Structure 1
Amino acid sequence: MTMNRQKKNTLLLLAAVLLISALSWAVYGFRTGAFQKKDTKTVEIQVDGSRYGRYPLDQDTEFEIQSIAGHVHFIIKDGKAAITESTCPDKVCVHTGWISQSGELIVCLPNQVVVTVL
Structure 2
Amino acid sequence: MIWKELKKQWRFMDGVVIICLIILSFAPLVVFSLNQTDEATKEGNIAIISIDGKEVDRFELNEKTKHKEKTYYPGKDKYNIIEMEGTKIRVKEDNSPDQIAVRTGWISKPGQTSICLPHKLVIEIVSNEPVDEEDDMIITY
The TM-score normalised by the length of structure 1 is: 0.65
- Secondary structure of the equivalent of 2:90? strand
- Secondary structure of the equivalent of 1:44? strand
Q: CA RMSD in A?
A: 1.9
1:62, CA displacement in angstroms? 1.2
Supply the distance in 1 between the matched residues of 2:98 and 2:45 (Cα, whole angstroms): 29
Supply the distance in 2 between the matched residues of 1:111 and 1:71 (Cα, whole angstroms): 8
1:78, CA displacement in angstroms? 2.4
Supply the distance in 2 between the matched residues of 1:57 and 1:97 (Cα, whole angstroms): 16
Supply the distance in 2 between the matched residues of 1:53 and 1:83 (Cα, whole angstroms): 14
Tell me which amino acid in the other structure corresponds to 1:82: R
The residue aligned with 1:47 is 51
**Percent of aligned positions that are identical:** 27
Residues 46, 53 of structure 1: 8 Å contact kept = yes
Tell me which amino acid in the other structure corresponds to 1:74: I
Deviation per residue, 1:72-92 (Å, 9 max, x gap)? 100111210000100100100
Higher CA-based Rg: 2
Q: How does 1:82-97 map to 2 (within 5 A)?
A: 82-97=90-105
The residue aligned with 2:14 is none
- Secondary structure of the equivalent of 2:97? coil
Moved more, 60-69 or 83-92: 60-69
Give the aligned length.
Answer: 84
Supply the distance in 1 between the matched residues of 2:94 and 2:118 (Cα, whole angstroms): 10
Supply the distance in 2 between the matched residues of 1:109 and 1:38 (Cα, whole angstroms): 31
Residues 83, 90 of structure 2: 8 Å contact kept = yes
1:107 aligns with 2:118: no
Q: Tell me, which stretches of 5 or more residues in structure 2 are unaligned?
A: 1-38, 127-141
The TM-score normalised by the length of structure 2 is: 0.55
1:49, CA displacement in angstroms? 1.6
- Secondary structure of the equivalent of 1:110? helix
- Secondary structure of the equivalent of 1:56? strand
